[in-house]
């Protein structure tokens, strides 16, 4: 069976790419206005702690600009990932279907302020 994330890397238009990672819109928006994911270009399940920290820092900075119309966005943990064997993370706004928002609240996540909410 082909990995859906490996296929996404080949077929989806990237929003942003850096190093060995690509950011794309998710196919299933689940009612969100904006829902994106960062994917490791190599088929791997885990990153080292240092790699994870670096990639998530870059992804967070990207998202703070990408979700600029909202005061906050969610960085979602992979606890309930539908494709657990290929490293990826989701970021989304707080819109969504009622079922999706309920799932989001049960899934470990971080609520991050956007640039819009930064105050000196």
Phi, psi (deg, nearest 5) at residue 100: -65, -45
What pLDDT shows up at residue 25? 96
Name which CATH class applies to 4-117.
alpha beta
Alpha-carbon span 27 to 1, nearest angstrom: 19
Verdict on whether the full-model pTM lies above 0.75: yes
What pLDDT shows up at residue 118? 61
Alpha-carbon span 45 to 71, nearest angstrom: 32
The conformation of residue 15, written as its DSSP 8-state character, comes to S
Closest C-alpha among 43, 106, 109, 39 to residue 72: 109
pLDDT in tens, 29-67: 999 999 999 999 999 999 999 999 999 999 999 999 999
pLDDT in tens, 15-24: 999 999 999 9
């Amino acid at each position: 069976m082909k990995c859906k994330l490996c296929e996404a890397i080949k077929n989806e238009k990237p929003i942003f790419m850096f190093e060995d990672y690509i950011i794309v819109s998710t196919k299933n928006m689940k009612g969100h206005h904006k829902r994106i994911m960062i994917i490791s270009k190599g088929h791997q399940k885990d990153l080292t702690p240092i790699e994870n920290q670096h990639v998530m820092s870059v992804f967070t900075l990207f998202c703070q600009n990408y979700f600029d119309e909202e005061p906050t966005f969610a960085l979602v943990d992979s606890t309930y990932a539908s494709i657990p064997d290929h490293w990826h993370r989701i970021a989304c706004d707080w819109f969504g279907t009622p079922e999706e928002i309920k799932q989001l609240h049960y899934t470990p996540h971080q609520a991050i302020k956007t640039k819009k909410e930064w105050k000196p």
